Amino acid sequence: MNRLVALVALALAVLLTTTPATARAAPLEVVASFSILGDLVREVGTDRVRVTTLVGPDEDAHGFQPRPSDARLAREADLIVANGLGFDPWMERLARSSGHPRAVVVASEGVTPLKDTGDHRHSHGHGHNHGAFDPHAWQDVANVRHYVANIAAALAAADPDGATHYRENANRYGRELDALDADIQTRLAAVPDASRKIVTAHDAFGYFGHTYGVRFLAAAGVSNHSEASAAGVARLVRQLRREAVPVVFIENVGDPRLIDRIAREGGARLGGKLYSDALSGPDGPAPTYLKMMRHNLEVLVEGMTGADR
């Protein structure tokens, strides 16, 4: 009898401790194509989502080849988030071939895309899919408001019970984006026009330059980092000298050696490291989108206003 009581008590205890956990919905499984998107999904979803990014911190999404494990993640996901604009076509292919009718959220939906002007100096001869648009829309903070709205709407559609949660997070984050946008404009306003002319490794800052009034020249195009041709590099070096471009920046993705050479031959200073297409790891200076943009702002302003050469 005592034993029976003990068993019943045990069963009750197990029920009581496990019921709340099983009654609470499991987090929504979201797969995002690259680290910046993953961060935005986390900001909007917080504890209601579990986010996996296929292209991680400091990794290059251009020309990424999904692994079999990525296909499995896409198959098991509740939601798949892609940038669009030709940045991550492999993500949409992965979603299609995963055999699931999962909606792919194209986070950049609604932004006004900048044309890929072709005003960059690299060879197109390696079979890369060169899109009609510049995909790096997140470099204009106003565009990220579209990203966040699209992500919030998609999360709410996949998890209607969380709709209010997602909307409130999106609103809170939107205010942080507004503050960031204002800070970028204020800081850059103090940089003289003649200094607002810089070189980066690949053409990732078109939106930033367009919105905030900085002219970016790039060694390679919008869709890859490594294919600057010898003739293109020579042309860029001549342009650096002719226009007295003061500073050249490396990026966290791609090979810094080319940029180092361009700076030396073009007679420009070497600035700090910009985070263009990927966040840093958690211990780096750019572990979130907001921190990435603030870090880039500091590096850019410091580079543009640094000591005369």
Q: How far is the CB of 181 from Zn ion (least distance, A)?
A: 21
Q: Is 306 left (phi over 0), alpha (psi -120 to 50) or beta?
A: beta
Quote the CA–CA distance of 262 and 293 in Å, as a whole number.
Answer: 25
Do the beta carbons of residue 91 and residue 123 sit within 8 Å? Answer: no
Q: How far is the CB of 87 from Zn ion (least distance, A)?
A: 7
Q: What is the DSSP letter of 223?
A: S
78 near Zn ion (CB under 5 A): no
Task: Report the site for Zn ion in 276-295 (rule: CB under 5 A).
Answer: 277
Quote the CA–CA distance of 149 and 166 in Å, as a whole number.
Answer: 9
Comparing CB distances to Zn ion, the nearer of 28 and 204 is 204
Q: How far is the CB of 118 from Zn ion (least distance, A)?
A: 15
| Window of 112-120, 147-155, 199-207, 290-298 that interacts with Zn ion by CB under 5 A | 199-207
| Window of 49-57, 165-173, 181-189, 201-209 that interacts with Zn ion by CB under 5 A | 201-209
Do the beta carbons of residue 74 and residue 95 sit within 8 Å? Answer: yes
Q: How far is the CB of 223 from Zn ion (least distance, A)?
A: 7
Task: Report the site for Zn ion in 239-278 (rule: CB under 5 A).
Answer: 277
204 near Zn ion (CB under 5 A): yes
Comparing CB distances to Zn ion, the nearer of 27 and 63 is 63
CA angle, residues 33, 39, 44, in degrees to nearest 5:
110
Comparing CB distances to Zn ion, the nearer of 61 and 105 is 61
Comparing CB distances to Zn ion, the nearer of 140 and 277 is 277
Q: At what angle do helices 89-97 and 68-76 cross, to 10 degrees?
A: 70
Quote the CA–CA distance of 107 and 144 in Å, as a whole number.
Answer: 9
70 near Zn ion (CB under 5 A): no
Do the beta carbons of residue 277 and residue 223 sit within 8 Å? Answer: no
Residue ranges binding Zn ion (CB under 5 A): 204, 277
